[in-house]
């Protein structure tokens, strides 16, 4: 699965969550003195609110939301130990492989058995299918351990796995979406870049006003975090301006400008490829990061997946509404926790504004880069 290109981080999902040290701490369900609590155990303990020796429990209700991260969480070797050691994970990846291999021309199962390198993962047409397979494998393991989502949220490409897990897309349709999404987006390599910016959406819009169509807000991840995408030269100018003002700015090092006009050339092709996708009603609520609201499963047709590629990622709005509907545990589904700073900010702000009944929500990871996968999932 050799490919070339820059790292395919999705809008607003840098490898290291921006400004995490400045985020007000949201209490976790990790017992004092226990540095590693498997995700399944942690979620069960948090849901039951019975963690002996815990620093604190911040879950208002204990309802578990599965939050599927986007690109940028991937790393060379991700999922390999789970694929080798966990039958449930391996079966889930095999099921994905059956659907994906004919479309990709390569095997995600083989990529886990003999892990691909960073150069391959730099190509979004490789990274997206592998991330999808890891997320469905993690979900299968959690379900086997007794953890079921009460609701789902997906960040950008993470919406594809979320749509399958909630029942809106059967696996063949979800596999088609992920394969075609990655392929057409891969064709846009070299068209632009992206950056994480420490501004509210309103302040960011003012900062971009003088750039016309050259720069766009590609994602709103919290009340103080956006992603900007667009022309490389314009992004450099914006970065210099914001640096002079002391505003956080991080170029994500991408060869892509996802969620911007640079995706427009692939619209017709993506819509044509996905015209036969047939969504179904959801079994658990799906909070859309395209609209920022809870969505019906039957809405997730070809047109929806085009908007998922082109429109800004309204992550903060979707998470706020999931919290308002009772999410007490935000469990990030992916190979590395890249959304936790944003999740904590959204949860903390909700508590501060008085719209919540407690201090926030428990934010938990599943896998971590370089860590023991089977131990992490328990």
Residues 163-175 pLDDT 10s: 999 999 999 999 9
Q: Does position 23 have pLDDT exceeding 60, yes or no?
A: no
Check whether domain 60-188+260-377 has CATH 3.30.565.10, yes or no: no
Interatomic CA distance for residues 283 and 164, integer angstroms:
10
- Give the pLDDT score at 33: 33
Highest mean pLDDT among 21-30, 87-96, 352-361: 87-96
Strand 215-222 versus strand 225-230 pairing type: antiparallel
Helix 201-208 crosses helix 232-244 at what angle (to 10 degrees)? 120
Are 350 and 320 within 8 A, CB to CB? yes
Report the DSSP beta bridge partners of residue 250: 196
Give span(s): CATH 3.40.366.10, the chain. Answer: 60-188+260-377
C-alpha Rg value of the chain to the nearest Å: 19
Homologous superfamily assigned to 193-251: Malonyl-CoA ACP transacylase, ACP-binding (3.30.70.250)
Q: Does position 286 have pLDDT exceeding 80, yes or no?
A: yes
pTM of structure: 0.85
Q: What would the two tokens of residue 245 be? A: 């003002």
Give span(s): CATH 3.30.70.250, the chain. Answer: 193-251
Burial of 350 per CB tally in 10 Å (0-12, 13-18, 19+): buried
- Give the pLDDT score at 115: 76
Are 234 and 191 within 8 A, CB to CB? no
Angle 187-230-152 (CA atoms, 0-180°, nearest 5)?
A: 75
Interval 164-223: pLDDT, tens? 999 999 999 999 999 999 999 999 999 999 999 999 999 999 999 999 999 999 999 999
Interval 31-60: pLDDT, tens? 333 334 566 666 655 555 433 322 233 333
Q: Tokens 């069960």 belong to which residue? A: 44
Mean pLDDT throughout 354-365? 65
Interatomic CA distance for residues 232 and 215, integer angstroms:
9
Q: In whole angstroms, what separates CA 42 from the centre of its chain?
A: 20
């Amino acid at each position: 699965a050799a490919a070339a290109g820059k790292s395919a981080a999705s809008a607003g999902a840098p490898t290291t969550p921006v400004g995490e040290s400045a985020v007000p701490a949201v209490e976790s369900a990790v017992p004092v003195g226990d540095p590693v609590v498997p995700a399944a155990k942690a979620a069960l303990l948090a849901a039951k609110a019975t963690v002996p020796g815990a620093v604190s429990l911040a879950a208002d209700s204990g309802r578990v939301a599965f939050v599927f991260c986007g690109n940028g969480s991937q790393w060379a070797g991700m999922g390999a130990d789970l694929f080798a050691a966990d039958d449930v994970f391996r079966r889930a990846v095999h099921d994905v492989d059956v659907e994906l291999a004919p479309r990709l021309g390569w095997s995600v199962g083989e990529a886990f058995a003999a892990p691909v390198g960073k150069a391959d993962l730099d190509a979004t047409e490789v990274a997206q299918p592998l991330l999808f397979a890891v997320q469905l494998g993690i979900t299968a393991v959690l379900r086997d351990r007794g953890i079921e989502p009460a609701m789902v949220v997906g960040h950008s490409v993470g919406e594809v796995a979320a749509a399958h897990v909630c029942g809106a897309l059967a696996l063949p349709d979800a596999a088609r979406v992920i394969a075609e999404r990655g392929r057409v987006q891969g064709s846009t390599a070299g068209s632009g870049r992206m950056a994480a910016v420490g501004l509210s959406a309103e302040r960011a819009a003012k900062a971009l006003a003088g750039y016309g169509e050259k720069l766009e807000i590609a994602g709103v991840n919290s009340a103080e975090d956006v992603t900007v995408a667009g022309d490389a030269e314009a992004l450099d100018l914006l970065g210099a301006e914001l640096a002079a003002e002391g505003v956080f700015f991080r170029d994500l090092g991408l060869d892509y400008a996802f969620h911007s006009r640079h995706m427009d050339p692939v619209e017709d092709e993506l819509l044509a490829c996905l015209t036969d996708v047939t969504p179904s009603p959801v079994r658990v609520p799906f909070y859309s990061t395209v609209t920022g609201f809870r969505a019906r499963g039957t809405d997730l047709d070809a047109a929806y997946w085009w908007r998922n590629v082109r429109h800004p990622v309204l992550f903060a709005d979707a998470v706020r509404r999931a919290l308002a509907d009772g999410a007490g545990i935000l469990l990030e589904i992916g190979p590395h926790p890249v959304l936790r700073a944003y999740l904590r900010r959204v949860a903390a702000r909700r508590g501060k504004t008085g719209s919540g009944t407690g201090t926030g929500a428990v934010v938990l990871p599943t896998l971590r880069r370089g860590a023991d996968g089977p131990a992490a999932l328990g």
